[in-house]
Structure 1
Amino acid sequence: MRKKNILICDDEQAIIDVLKLYFDTTLYNIYEANDGEAALRLLKSEPIDLALIDIMMPKINGLQLIQLVKHELSIPLLIISARYTLEDKLKGYEIGADDYITKPFEPLEVLAKVKNRLNVQTRAPQAIIVDDLKLDLYECKLTVGQTVFELTKVEFQVLKLLMESPNRVFTKAQIYTAGWDDYYEEDDNSIRVIMNRLREKIGKDRIQTIRGLGYRLSL
């Protein structure tokens, strides 16, 4: 999962520095601008995912900046401003801001709003690793040693179930529910086909059939 690029535009460097302390550097790249012209250059030249914009900035103010880029960029634009009247807020929304945060603000609230807009999951696992098997949870790919396999949705979901609990025996009903997102109705043939496909990829002895019970990933 690539990092999200956040632009913080404020003529007060102290505001930028405070906000930067709260952004996890494993999830975000932070771009800075102290005036509207610098912010405009960054928005047009860098793959920004979200911008936090102060209104009272030199050269180009925040409202002008939003008007200039709103129809060119389909990214969230959040105002952070010391202007707090209802009229100020309505003006911000009218020209295209997606949210309006007043100063002084609580940095954790700003972070929560950013995460909500970008739907960022903090420190979610990116892969399941068992011996030389690596299951990429984002690209739905399986790596066995140096070989990479593309997986179907059902293959991915069944293998994920098995790899999350190696050596545990899963019933056919549990496997069918995980793989097909449906209620199990004695569809043994579909399960057998998927298990044979996975055995071809990871090795026939790694997925064991436990007669009368189900299957397990054997270590």
Structure 2
Amino acid sequence: MRDNDSLLPANILVVEDEPKLASLLRDYLQAAGHRVSCLDDGLAVVPAVRAAEPDLILLDIMLPGRDGLAICRELRSFSAVPIIMITARVEEVDRLLGLDLGADDYICKPFSPREVVARTRAILRRQQRAGDPPNVAGLELDADRYRARYAGVELELTPVEFRLLSSLAATPGRVFSRDQLMNHAYTDQRVVTDRTVDSHIKNLRRKLEQAAPDRELIHSIYGVGYKLEP
């Protein structure tokens, strides 16, 4: 396991059509040690990601050519790259929180560039930690592509399910509370109920059991949470 405070430099794509804001974000992210490229046209984003997938995307919603919501939806059809949506329209927040778009986080304008750097760091740290090989026989995790295989079967996981499985698999036998699991699965401060946690775990269990019906990998610990143990 990597040290919790270590963070590898990342390739970050900033999609923002306000030149001053794009420049500001680039300067702060570069100062944090990352490599940054910028786009200001919504039509250019998907081709750019297909050509060279970054480690994280900061994606404004209001863009010329094509809006960020449509871009995010198409990106999720072929990529699990972490996406932080940026919006100046408060009414869009409910749609972003709906999780149907597959965004990993959102932030509202006006914002502090330091807050963006902190949110970016949290996602990258979680992603890089998820890249540590699991200690579970038959389980393969690819953090770069958010792909998972179990017992030789490809698992169709959502980003949240992948992060939950990665967290559990990193330390087999350790019992995680629901709060701990959600801190791994989400990067913002949204309120998540126990029912939401249980629903994600239920879906994850179902997919694992479909891959290996004779094995039970995720166990419930009554009154505490969950653990992964072969």
**1:111-137 residue CA offsets vs partner (Å, 9 max, x unmatched):** 0000000018xxxxxxxxxxxxxxxxx
Partner of residue 61, structure 1: 67
Which secondary structure state, in structure 2, belongs to the residue aligned with residue 21 of structure 1? helix
Deviation at 1:11, TM superposition (A): 1.2
Quote the offset at 1:70 in angstroms.
0.9
| Matched letter for residue 93 of structure 2 | K
- For residue 100 of structure 1, the aligned residue among 85, 103, 106 is 106
Runs of at least 5 residues in structure 2 that lack an aligned partner in the other structure: 1-6, 127-230
Aligned match for 2:41, one of 35, 41, 46: 35
Aligned to 1:159: none
SS of aligned partner of 1:48: coil
Q: Which residue of 2 aligns with 1:52?
A: 58
Q: CA deviation at 1:68?
A: 0.6
TM-fit CA distance, 1:71: 2.6
Using the TM superposition, give the Cα deviation of residue 59 of structure 1 relative to its aligned residue in structure 2, in angstroms: 1.1
- Cα deviation, 1:40-72, whole Å, max 9, x if unaligned, reads 222111130000001111111100000111131
Aligned pair in 2 of structure 1 residues 19, 26: CA closer, same or farther (>3 Å)? closer
Query: Displacement of 1:39 after TM fit?
Result: 1.6
For 1:157-196, list aligned pairs within 5 A. Answer: none
Instruction: Read off the aligned partner of 1:90 and give its amino acid letter.
Output: D
Determine helix, strand or coil for the equivalent of 2:30.
Answer: coil
TM-score by length of 1: 0.50
Q: Where does residue 70 of structure 1 map in the other structure?
A: 76
Helix, strand or coil: the match of 1:53? strand
DSSP 3-state at the match of 1:67: helix
**Could you tell me how far apart the structure 2 residues matched to 1:2 and 1:106 are?**
23
Please give the alpha-carbon distance, in whole angstroms, between the structure 2 residues aligned to 1:41 and 1:34: 13
Runs of 4+ in 1 over 3 A off after TM superposition: none
Q: What one-letter code is carried by the residue in structure 2 that aligns with 1:39?
A: V
Aligned counterparts of 1:69 and 1:18: Cα–Cα separation in 2 = 25
How far, CA to CA, are the matches of 1:38 and 1:31 in structure 2?
A: 13
Structure 1 residues 25 and 36: CA distance shift in structure 2, 3 A: same
Q: Could you tell me which residue of structure 1 aligns to residue 30 of structure 2?
A: 24
Q: TM-score w.r.t. structure 2 length?
A: 0.48
- Secondary structure class of the residue paired with 2:90: coil
Structure 1: unaligned runs, 5 residues or longer:
121-219
Mapped to 1, the partners of 2:84 and 2:25 lie a distance apart of: 14
| In 2, Cα distance between equivalents of 1:26 and 1:78 | 17
Matched residue, 1:136: none
Deviation (angstroms), 1:73: 1.0
Task: Say which SS state the counterpart of residue 119 (structure 1) adopts.
Answer: helix
**Structure 1 position 9 matched with structure 2 position 43:** no
Which residue identity does 1:102 align to in structure 2?
C
- Which residue identity lines up with residue 84 of structure 1 in the other structure? V
Q: Tell me the residue number matched to 1:84.
A: 90
> 1:206 is matched with which residue?
none
Q: What do the CA deviations read for 1:174-200 (whole angstroms, capped 9, x no partner)? A: xxxxxxxxxxxxxxxxxxxxxxxxxxx
Equivalent in the alignment of 2:156: none
Task: Quote the Cα distance in structure 1 between the aligned partners of 2:48 and 2:61.
Answer: 17
* Deviation (angstroms), 1:2: 5.8
Q: Do the aligned partners of 2:30 and 2:36 also contact (CA within 8 Å) in 1?
A: no
Q: Offset of 1:35 from its aligned partner?
A: 1.3
Partner residue, 1:194: none
Percent identity between matched residues is 31
* Contact preservation (8 Å) 2:83, 2:103: yes
